[in-house]
Amino acid sequence: MSALILIVEDEAAIQELLVYNLEAEGFRTKVVEQGEDVYPAISEEMPDLVLLDWMLPGLSGIEVCRMLRARAETQALPVIMLTARGEEAERVRGLSTGADDYIVKPFSVPEVMARVRSILRRMRPEAVADSLVRGDITLDRVRKRVLRGSRDIELSPTEFRLLEYLMQTPGRVFSRAQLLDRVWGDEGDIDERTVDVHVGRLRKSLSRGRENDPLRTVRGAGYAFDERYGK
């Protein structure tokens, strides 16, 4: 599952420019136009990074950044401010509110892409890594391969996405509804029992004989990749 970038921007042309280029680089995107919409968007899925316009209708980008830094669940969420204000005092003000970086409009697309990747490599390395490794399980995002030790594990595309999503945040429990939304997306009307079926298949593929099961079922809550696996 590629990194999710939340774009908080009210200008349609800039929205389209950022969405097109970020998705061309392999990122997923979500767009909101007002500061008040940031927390509802985050409650649906926590992004890996926020591109935040300074001048927004309603809550300003500065106010949104302060709110993000004031809450425990978003305190470490990377934020890049986008603004037409290029003066040094304004840059200092933006960074002092907790922004991790600052890009002045009009910006070059390569600069934005470079800044996004640089911050993600530093603060969310698992979001941009070519592979995820948990214990003896390696998921190769580039080659779309999964290994357990030296054994190749054959997975369907959906099972690969499911394992990738769970491996990104070991220990975090995802409900069936969350997994349907984030792994299956807009694939139509799919029953939550579909998740159980695919988790069952994934378990059989990952574990043979007496091998430990890396997936954890939390009754009444959902599924997680066991954070104790391989330790």
pTM as predicted: 0.67
Say which residues have a Cβ less than 8 Å from residue 89's Cβ, sequence separation at least 6: none
DSSP secondary-structure letter at 184? I
How confident is the model over 34-88, as pLDDT tens digits?
999 999 999 888 899 999 998 888 888 889 999 999 998 899 899 998 887 655 5
| % of the chain beyond a pLDDT of 70 | 93
Q: How far apart are CA 111 and CA 108, in angstroms?
A: 5
- The CA distance from 111 to 115, in Å, is 6
Is 61 strand, coil or helix? helix
Give 121-150 pLDDT, tens digit per residue.
Answer: 888 777 777 888 999 999 998 889 999 999
Three-class secondary structure of residue 103 per DSSP = strand
In one-letter notation, the amino acid at residue 105 is: K
Amino acid at 12: A
CA nearest neighbour of 153 among 139, 165, 142, 167? 139
What pLDDT digit, counting tens, does each position of 139-195 carry? 998 889 999 999 999 999 999 999 998 998 888 898 998 888 888 876 657 788 899
What angle in degrees, to the nearest 10, is found between the helix axes of 88-96 and 61-70?
Answer: 30
Do 62 and 93 contact (CB within 8 A), yes or no? yes
Would you say the C-alpha torsion 71, 163, 194, 173 has a positive or negative sign? negative
Beta bridge partners of residue 134, listed in sequence order = 137
Q: Are 148 and 137 in contact (CB under 8 A)?
A: yes
**Spatial separation of the C-alpha atoms in residues 199 and 58, rounded to whole Å:** 43
Whether 216 and 228 have beta carbons less than 8 Å apart is answered as no
Q: 125: helix, coil or strand?
A: helix
